[in-house]
Structure 1
Amino acid sequence: MEKVLKVASENGVVIFSKSSCCLCYSVNILFQELGVTPFIYEIDKDPDGKEMEKAIMKLGCNTPVPAVFIGGQLKGSTNEIMSLHLRGALIPLLRQYHGFNN
């Protein structure tokens, strides 16, 4: 859990991802289109990946990837991020981070 929280707290917008996950790719593209370049952490390329998946689930994410953290706080997976975006709540969360152009 410590590794997940450390990565999440050191970067403004983090997506814990797997290189073969199409939903991870979709969430990343959403952020890119909004003008945000998230830090992508590919947990399938980390020897501690399985433990990180468990930690993400313990933190409250319904699926281990994609897991989106903004400002060190877990905001959720694909459904939660899309819901935030559709309600107009995602952009205000992102405004405070460097590199956000909207």
Structure 2
Amino acid sequence: MSAAKTKAQTIIDENGVVVFSKSYCPYCRASKSLLTDLGAKYYTLELDQADDGSAIQDALEEISGQRTVPNIYIKQKHIGGNSDLQARKSELPSLLKDAGAL
């Protein structure tokens, strides 16, 4: 397994909520804003600011089949992107609570 894939998988495994993001991405900002508004604790990795961000993005595609950002995981389960997160808004409080993020 590549170092980037190991790093990505470790981040997913060790955090209840993870947002793989890019600092300039409006969809990423919308996802982080929603989670913040709900009071969630979450781990963010800004791929455009990480030295290995491109490799991690490639690894995420291997892990989840999704290359785009935001790439969101709750309780080690791939949620999808911003539209997927927004579509699950009503169930997020219980999902986040289960993940220990509230």
* Contiguous gaps of at least 5 residues in structure 1: none
Find the aligned partners of 2:42 and 2:99 in 1 and give their Cα distance: 10
**TM-score with structure 2 length normalisation?**
0.84
1:95 paired residue number: 97
| 1:27-63 deviation per Cα after TM superposition (whole angstroms, max 9, x unaligned) | 00100111102111111121211111112223122x4
Find the aligned partners of 2:88 and 2:17 in 1 and give their Cα distance: 15
Question: What's the C-alpha RMSD, in Å, of the aligned pairs?
Answer: 1.5
Letter in 2 for 1:93: L
Contact 2:16 / 2:101 at 8 angstroms: preserved in 1?
no
**TM-score with structure 1 length normalisation?**
0.84
Corresponding pairs, count: 97
1:60 paired residue number: 65
Query: Is residue 50 from structure 1 mapped to residue 54 from structure 2 by the alignment?
Result: yes
* Contiguous gaps of at least 5 residues in structure 2: none
